[in-house]
Amino acid sequence: MPFRTRSGPLLAGLLAAGLALMAGCSSSKDTPDAAATGAGGKVELTFWDWDPNMDKIVALWNDAHPDIHVTVSNPAGGDQLVSKMISAHQAKNGPDIAKVEYQSLPALVSNGVVRDITEYTKQAVANFDAATLSATKLEGKVYGIPQDVAPLMLFYRADLFQQYGLTVPTTWEQFAQQAAALHQKAPNVAMTNFDAADPGWFTGLVQQAGADWWSASGTTWKVHINGPESKKVADYWEGLVKNGLVLKNPSFSPQWNKQMNDGSIATWISGAWAPAQLGGIAPQTKGKWAAAPLPAWTAGDKTTGIWGGSAVTVTTDSAHPAQAAQFVSWLNSDDTAVAAQVENINVYPASTSGRSLPILQKPPAFLPNQPDYYSVVKSVAPSSRSFSIWGPNVTVTFRGYTDAFGQALQNGTSFSAALDTIQDSTTADMKKLGFTLG
């Protein structure tokens, strides 16, 4: 299964206030207001999204739907967008539509930001298998249409591996061995970097190791951020950092972009969406990257985690939820729209029919050297796992990751202790919010 999400206990305490708020909002928002409707009854919708080239897909919609015009903008990505959405909702000027990573959806629902679109998406949801759709269903209600699945994979510079006689690792033990061999042969080239700024890749790694950071029974929650599976991953990477085998700078920083572009970094642990980003990160390396399954803790184990994967949602601020849901459904279930996303964004489709589109027979534009790219993704996606439940305060946990691991890298202190710090900050915040912890 691409995702494993258990929705029942998740919402027992999380959504009690949020759903009540949304019920109060929805009745007044279902009637279009004059300000949001253009001349001649034309509906104007705003769409917050961070995908490169999403404007090309939106243009297809606008050309075919002259009465419903969508304007896309990129105010932020990932966790930063969540904060902006909450702030915009509080100011009553949020967008109509927004892309949301799966782990952020429960918090946005509980804050009354994202709307229940069950009544508008009855036909669209038939295009998704139950496992994939479960990532956007809470208490049986649909709060978004899945866009993509993003199994964690190993992207490597095929030319550098050949130049330095490296073997693509299939286990984490081999990864460390190859990192040491590379450091000996080329001290100025690192196997990869440890990113303390973006927790998405690290959560994917601990998912692969079997961790579940949150669990719930009824209204009682347990937090397991510093469990043994997570500490195994943390200790492994601390060893690579202390041995000087990986860099310590954050991904997507100007320095990292330069290193990715000039061959100072040999691999990138990333989601299946990576080819769409590489063109902006390392434009001079087109055709030099290849993808392989993530190294395993035990030889032969195909389990991987996820980094990202998103749904497209309709907000409670939208004056046109029916039209917004129509666009969201089209975007992620219409074969033409999905094919355009594969071509322009390199998503691996969440829709069942999308995974059989002819366009997946071609490689991403930035990886012309790997014609079987989507076949590799297809082979690893069924063995990817997320957390069984994402906690109600993911933003606090993710901020704690950035702070704690940032300090650990700077001070040379224990990565395992950083997990203890994140555990403490997450549980303290949940108690402050009124959650019962067991």
DSSP assignments along 399-419, one per residue:
HHHHHHHHHHHHHT--HHHHH
Domains of the chain listed by start with CATH number: 10-149+308-361 (3.40.190.10), 152-306+387-437 (3.40.190.10)
Collect all residues with Cβ–Cβ distance below 8 Å to 56 and sequence separation of at least 6. 340, 344
pLDDT 10s digits, 111-169: 899 999 999 999 999 999 888 888 899 889 999 999 999 999 999 999 999 999 999 99
C-beta separation of 68 from 293 below 8 A: no
Please indicate, yes or no, whether the overall pTM of this predicted structure exceeds 0.85. Answer: no
C-beta separation of 143 from 109 below 8 A: yes
**Local structure of 114: helix, strand or coil:** strand
Q: Where would I find the beta strands (DSSP E) of 60-126?
A: 68-73, 97-101
Using CA atoms, how far apart are residues 21 and 335, in angstroms rounded to an integer? 35
pLDDT at 276 over 60: yes
Q: In terms of C-beta density within 10 A (0-12 exposed, 13-18 middle, 19 or more buried), how is residue 418 classed?
A: buried
Confidence of residue 40 (pLDDT cuts 50, 70, 90): low
pLDDT at 7 over 80: no
User: Average pLDDT over the chain, rounded to whole?
Assistant: 90
pLDDT at 10 over 60: no
Using CA atoms, how far apart are residues 428 and 205, in angstroms rounded to an integer? 25
**Local structure of 314: helix, strand or coil:** strand
Using CA atoms, how far apart are residues 423 and 438, in angstroms rounded to an integer? 14
